[in-house]
Amino acid sequence: MQRIRLRYTKRGRLRFTSHRDFQRAFERALRRAEVPMAYSAGFTPHPKVSYANAAPTGTGSEAEFLEIALTEPRDPDTLRALLDESLPDGLDITDAVEARTSGLADRLTASVWEMRLDGVPFGDAEKAVAGFLGAETVEVQRRTKNGMRTFDARAAVAGLEAVDPGADRPGDKACAILRLVVRHVTPAVRPDDVLSGLRVVADLAPPVPAAVTRLAQGLFDEESGTVTDPLAPDREASPAAQPTATGTAVATAPEGAGSA
């Protein structure tokens, strides 16, 4: 049985697709591409697909990961192209490697997020970020199926900075961009929890919902402040890998890394 690991995106309007919506679309793509899938046993067999740490509905992502099991070997690059053609624009398969190591989910320990705050002056965002990073704890509330829950949104944040969009600003409207690195902890701290924390410490309240995109996820390196490519170990283990191949850092933690 061959295992293939895929990286895919959720872009544009398709960021509003739920995880279940993506599962249905992906299984249709598997059938269209005639992928020789392995199936589970039992009365209702399902394709052997393992999803890892999917982004919340409504957020975009450049770094979602899954693994599939095949009954016949396939070239990862060819398979990636076939599946990408079989999915709607916005759900794009951007990378594929043969799984040659274990523990993909264990290598997803942090995410790099970008939040675009239209209507928020850059200076206000900078002050709010400074207040958040300077706090030892920032308690926020989130409604769960068991009611309201209070937890600390500060400890999971490994880095946070405000970025002036400059030429990317629409017209003369105020706008700020936040870049943050969040460790994957329990309970999970999401970008909207960080926004709630900024409201707590600095009364920062964007007039319109933030546009949130996951830029990367992988293993967080405390020493270098980088989030590394989780597929790199599989590439390095490939017989065709170059002797000089190393783990590729896909994102650097912004200001405040390691200060949690």
CATH number, domain containing residue 193 = 3.30.70
| Total residue length of the chain | 260
Q: DSSP readout, 193-225?
A: HHHHHHHHHH----SS--EEEEEEEEEEETTTT
Q: What is the mean pLDDT of residues 207-227?
A: 92
Q: Tell me, what's the pLDDT at 209?
A: 93
Q: Per residue in 128-179, pLDDT tens? A: 999 999 999 999 998 888 888 899 999 999 999 999 887 666 666 889 999 9
Q: Structural domain tally of the chain?
A: 2
Question: Is the residue at 246 inside a domain?
Answer: no
Same domain, 129 and 213: yes
First-residue to last-residue Cα distance in the chain:
42
Percent of the chain with pLDDT over 70: 90
Give the residues across from 159 on adjacent strands.
Answer: 181
Q: For residue 157, give both structure tokens.
A: 């944040």
Q: Per residue in 24-73, pLDDT tens? A: 999 999 999 999 999 998 888 899 999 989 999 999 999 999 999 999 99
Q: Which of 63, 83, 99 is the last residue of a domain?
A: 99
Residue 198, burial from CB neighbour count under 10 angstroms (0-12, 13-18, 19+): buried
Q: Tell me, what's the pLDDT at 229?
A: 96
Residue type, 38: A
Report pTM. 0.87
Same domain, 121 and 86: no
Q: Tell me, what's the pLDDT at 107?
A: 94
Question: Is the residue at 118 inside a domain?
Answer: yes
Q: What is the mean pLDDT of residues 192-210?
A: 95
Q: What is the mean pLDDT of residues 72-92?
A: 96
Q: Which of 99, 125, 158 is the last residue of a domain?
A: 99
Q: For residue 121, give both structure tokens.
A: 């002056």
Same domain, 127 and 207: yes
Same domain, 123 and 91: no
Question: Is the residue at 232 inside a domain?
Answer: no
Q: Tell me, what's the pLDDT at 255?
A: 57
Same domain, 84 and 182: no
Same domain, 143 and 93: no
25: enclosing H helix or E strand: helix 19-32
* Parent domain of 126: 107-220
Query: Cα 46 to the chain's mean position, in Å?
Result: 25
